[in-house]
Structure 1
């Protein structure tokens, strides 16, 4: 790592060499297919996949049901069907309007749910609440794949080797003299199995943070679910970039890759209060009116209010989020929230990726053909026409801004440790060594990717 005089965008050049041997040609073909799928914005393709994913969860009434609402620009926005969010202190004042709704307290808000309620009824309740000067909000859903993009998902890749032997060339073997700022990965959770190759071996597993891998349709079908392994893969990216990082995994999304506003917000606040100094969010979505999801916004504000600012007036905590895979300048949450560092995707040649969201972005890095660890299991032919089977100690290649963001989170953790600086100082050092690209912030190569 050269943070002083390396060419802009190349501070990590040579730090993360890749060796694919005879597999390289096959992997290039696979990554090219992943990129084509990421760039496929046809409503028909997206609609078919969403239809399948919605149907898979329809018998499980404990799980948020997905409703697709089209924005004015024709892009889909995902909402939890029949659900509203309202301040707990306001509930009594509008109790008559929502007496048929079940409720669950979420922090200082209440999540109201009535599955039979359609958009017309919910809009009426929102309007009726507004008459009483009370705000009611939809419970938006974020996804791991920008709705239906990325069909086919991860693909088998050569083993990464035993983590005990993993080294970054010319980096301190002990990770450096500085503290290890805890990195929270808020995602689908982490695989329960302790890998024989020791990757993610120090990540704590609890019933609350496990990726359950195969639960949909209800009870499972013997195949990995649509976004199963996403959290494990993302955590592995952080560990590849910062081997000494203290990684903590939180489950906010289900195994098909969907997470409600309230669940994401709860995980953000919990990670912060557990001591995380860097938080990674490889998920996102669009709202109908381009206004931020209520509870995610409040969660980020809570983190920064409680953690405070440093002597330079900068937020102490670092929150990193994937910019999205929509291929446009549209607003994607939580990446667009104040106090969040948005990360866009580049090709392996450091050019802007056509499938990546862009615009109000702080960083960009390679998001095509990223290699990381992946859990054991078989892909479903429902989602991949050529399904893979992943064995013990598997590795995979995957593409998307989901896998660009954790490289930045990992780089911040690594710089903090090696340079003995705060995560916020590390963000600024990283920013200073990136190459400015319009709409893509400061561009840089960290992991090599495949092109």
Structure 2
């Protein structure tokens, strides 16, 4: 993936995202266009700057964005959120009765594991949705799937692989996956990845794709940046942005992002879940990060959605008068592991 940094963000070199309404306006910078699933990727002519082109198109009232690079959120500079550690097996008996609630999981995919052996949702999983086996974040999706399965045991997972083994994807890939979800929208959607934008404003094509899932509660990680800079899509006002607290359940985990745009927090340190079955790992790992705190909040909403609409459950969770509030981290969700 050829990319470049712009401030704290990363973008695909020479690419801008637009919708069809901006095609003619973008023509003078266009070398080629690829269109699929509701978004057009403009491959710019030599010398055209994606951020400058985006600014000009937006000045005309058009929807445009550089093709931002989004990342899964273990840290790249060390610490407990940087990588998984081997763990002993954890017993878990899957609930036989299904709740009818569907959780969408966009991530690195999901690997075979005893926790969901024989489940209908895993039997339907296409081979291309299997978890990555190589890369710094291989197993990320399997780890999250285990947290969801344990904390919302009656829910069905609907998995789509959008991150590679190093936890990288781009905005176009995510927008297209979200567009395809409109055919069968999940009740709750877990997005344990994100990005800073080049101008600290919400990326419009990503924003539109999430808003189009009207009845889906989208839950996204606040990021392991340790800063208060908005992280997208978590910082969108209609997305539940999730930070991580440490084992005290009263303090921010040092790596966790924070700010007024964060809606909820959950335990993120040293969680144990399902993982790849490799030479170093026997199918279980311990890992830390806002990615995994996000899964606990997703599961709490999905578990409640067996009895009430998911959006109503999310509103009660975030607005309850007796909810524990932590400054710049939102409502504390303790999780159910």
Show structure 2 runs of 5+ residues with no match: none
Give the 3 Å change call, closer, same or farther, for CA 107–233 of structure 1 in structure 2.
Answer: same
Aligned residues: CA RMSD: 2.6
Matches within 5 A, 1:86-125: 86-98=18-30, 101-113=31-43, 117=46, 121-125=49-53
8 A Cα contact 1:250 1:271, kept in partner: no
Q: Please state if 1:67 is matched with 2:4.
A: yes
Structure 2 Cα separation of the partners of residues 294 and 146 of structure 1: 26
8 A Cα contact 2:51 2:198, kept in partner: no
**After superposition, what is the alpha-carbon deviation per residue over 1:217-257, rounded to whole angstroms, capped at 9, x for unaligned?**
xxxxxxx2111111111111111101111111111211111
Deviation at 1:415, TM superposition (A): 1.9
Structure 2 Cα separation of the partners of residues 352 and 129 of structure 1: 39
Q: Please state if 1:80 is matched with 2:8.
A: no
Deviation at 1:96, TM superposition (A): 3.4
8 A Cα contact 1:323 1:357, kept in partner: yes
Q: Please state if 1:390 is matched with 2:290.
A: no
Structure 2 Cα separation of the partners of residues 131 and 412 of structure 1: 39
8 A Cα contact 1:81 1:117, kept in partner: no
Out of 112, 128, 136, the residue aligned to residue 226 of structure 1 is 136
Out of 216, 219, 232, the residue aligned to residue 333 of structure 1 is 232
Give the 3 Å change call, closer, same or farther, for CA 198–137 of structure 1 in structure 2.
Answer: closer
User: Which residue of structure 2 lines up, in the alignment, with residue 319 of structure 1?
Assistant: 218
8 A Cα contact 1:366 1:447, kept in partner: no
Structure with the greater alpha carbon radius of gyration:
1
**After superposition, what is the alpha-carbon deviation per residue over 1:189-210, rounded to whole angstroms, capped at 9, x for unaligned?**
112xx33454584423114422
Deviation at 1:408, TM superposition (A): 0.9
Structure 1 Cα separation of the partners of residues 309 and 61 of structure 2: 43
Structure 2 Cα separation of the partners of residues 271 and 200 of structure 1: 24
Out of 371, 394, 404, the residue aligned to residue 272 of structure 2 is 371
Q: Please state if 1:264 is matched with 2:174.
A: yes
User: Which residue of structure 1 lines up, in the alignment, with residue 85 of structure 2?
Assistant: 155
User: Which residue of structure 2 lines up, in the alignment, with residue 45 of structure 1?
Assistant: none
Matches within 5 A, 1:10-25: none
- After the TM superposition, which parts of structure 1 deviate over 6 Å for at least 4 consecutive aligned residues? 130-133
8 A Cα contact 1:271 1:279, kept in partner: no
Q: How many residues end up aligned between the 2 structures?
A: 329
8 A Cα contact 2:143 2:275, kept in partner: yes
User: Which residue of structure 1 lines up, in the alignment, with residue 145 of structure 2?
Assistant: 235
User: Which residue of structure 2 lines up, in the alignment, with residue 310 of structure 1?
Assistant: none
Deviation at 1:439, TM superposition (A): 0.8
TM-score w.r.t. the length of structure 1 is 0.67
Give the 3 Å change call, closer, same or farther, for CA 149–113 of structure 1 in structure 2.
Answer: farther
SS in structure 1 of the partner of residue 29 of structure 2: helix
Out of 129, 151, 162, the residue aligned to residue 209 of structure 1 is 129
User: Which residue of structure 2 lines up, in the alignment, with residue 428 of structure 1?
Assistant: 315
TM-score w.r.t. the length of structure 2 is 0.88
Q: Please state if 1:349 is matched with 2:277.
A: no
Q: Please state if 1:276 is matched with 2:195.
A: no
Give the 3 Å change call, closer, same or farther, for CA 117–190 of structure 1 in structure 2.
Answer: farther
Give the 3 Å change call, closer, same or farther, for CA 206–149 of structure 1 in structure 2.
Answer: farther
Structure 1 Cα separation of the partners of residues 201 and 252 of structure 2: 26
User: Which residue of structure 2 lines up, in the alignment, with residue 185 of structure 1?
Assistant: 105
Give the 3 Å change call, closer, same or farther, for CA 68–199 of structure 1 in structure 2.
Answer: farther
Deviation at 1:147, TM superposition (A): 6.8
SS in structure 2 of the partner of residue 244 of structure 1: coil
Structure 2 Cα separation of the partners of residues 127 and 424 of structure 1: 34
Structure 1 Cα separation of the partners of residues 65 and 102 of structure 2: 33
**After superposition, what is the alpha-carbon deviation per residue over 1:386-441, rounded to whole angstroms, capped at 9, x for unaligned?**
xxx123xx110111100001111111111222xx2121232234332530111111
Show structure 1 runs of 5+ residues with no match: 1-63, 71-75, 168-172, 214-223, 305-315, 379-388
